[in-house]
Structure 1
Amino acid sequence: MAQKISLADWQQQRGRSADSVADGNNDSLVYSTDKGKIDKARPTEAGGTAYPDGAVRLRREKKGRGGKTVLTISGIAKPVSELNELCAALKKKCACGGAVKDGIIEIQADKRELIEQHLSQKGFNVKWAGG
């Protein structure tokens, strides 16, 4: 049968003091009755990455989206804030919804010509990819 020890004794055996855990300096602590669930620091959002040829890809997707058509725009090497501004402008132009996920802009409509025209006016080299 295992011997029962107090939390302070266990922490001392592991080389940690009770004060470091109370201060929140314990990265392996998942739940504490003192503070509740401890959330880990989230990494900062990454912007988009460019393709080697410098072109922006417009891809039409339906798979895994319940049959709804979504245009994904990838290859824009800008920070997240600029991608959000561009996404907002495209959503207004197309009168539809959309979002920025993992550096890729998703527009919830099949208006490739309109989006290609708008991106070309902004100075992007646009290529169609996918269906």
Structure 2
Amino acid sequence: MAASKRKSKSDGVVYREFGNSPNADATARPIQELPPNQQQIRIQASRKGRKGKTVTEITGFQCKPDTLASISKQLKAQCGTGGTVKESTIEIQGEHKQKILEILTQLGYQAKISGG
């Protein structure tokens, strides 16, 4: 006896309410990108959870991930060190508060050094 085989989709989803793409998030809010002079940027050095290594954290960005990545790339090149982007925060390895403050003010951002 021949068994009938059903064709199934590769993702195994039976019903999807919003769109055809599995990566599309219908509930995601659009990111509002503010001009640099309207953003309040905070720069601080931190060692928490990094086994004593200092990292300069830059927070307060309200921009798209592409813009954040390009700013991060420019800061890493100017400081001559590595870093990463996590959510809306840029982390630069080492303590570079003053240098980052100068770079961001030249780019037109309202930046302040916070913390000790």
- 1:95 to 2:68 alignment: no
Q: Is the 8 A contact 2:39 2:62 kept in 1?
A: no
Task: Give distance in 2, aligned partners of 1:67 and 1:113.
Answer: 21
Change (3 A) 1:109 1:47: farther
- How many residues end up aligned between the 2 structures? 97
**Gapped runs of 5+ residues in structure 1?**
1-17, 28-39
- 1:110 to 2:95 alignment: yes
Change (3 A) 1:82 1:102: same
Deviation at 1:129, TM superposition (A): 1.8
Task: Give distance in 1, aligned partners of 2:113 and 2:24.
Answer: 34
Q: After the TM superposition, which parts of structure 1 deviate over 3 Å for at least 4 consecutive aligned residues? A: 40-44, 46-50
2:55 to 70, 88, 94: 70
**Gapped runs of 5+ residues in structure 2?**
1-5, 15-21
Aligned residue identity for 1:128: I
Change (3 A) 1:83 1:56: same
CA RMSD of aligned residues (A): 2.8
Q: Is the 8 A contact 1:70 1:109 kept in 2?
A: yes
Q: Which has the larger helix fraction?
A: 1
Deviation at 1:26, TM superposition (A): 2.5
Aligned match of 1:32: none
What secondary structure does 1:130 align onto? coil
What secondary structure does 2:102 align onto? helix
TM-score calculated relative to the size of structure 2: 0.70
How many percent identity over aligned positions?
Answer: 30
Structure with higher RCO (Cα < 8 A, 6+ apart): 2
Task: Give distance in 1, aligned partners of 2:24 and 2:103.
Answer: 34
- 1:59 to 2:52 alignment: no
Q: Is the 8 A contact 1:61 1:71 kept in 2?
A: yes
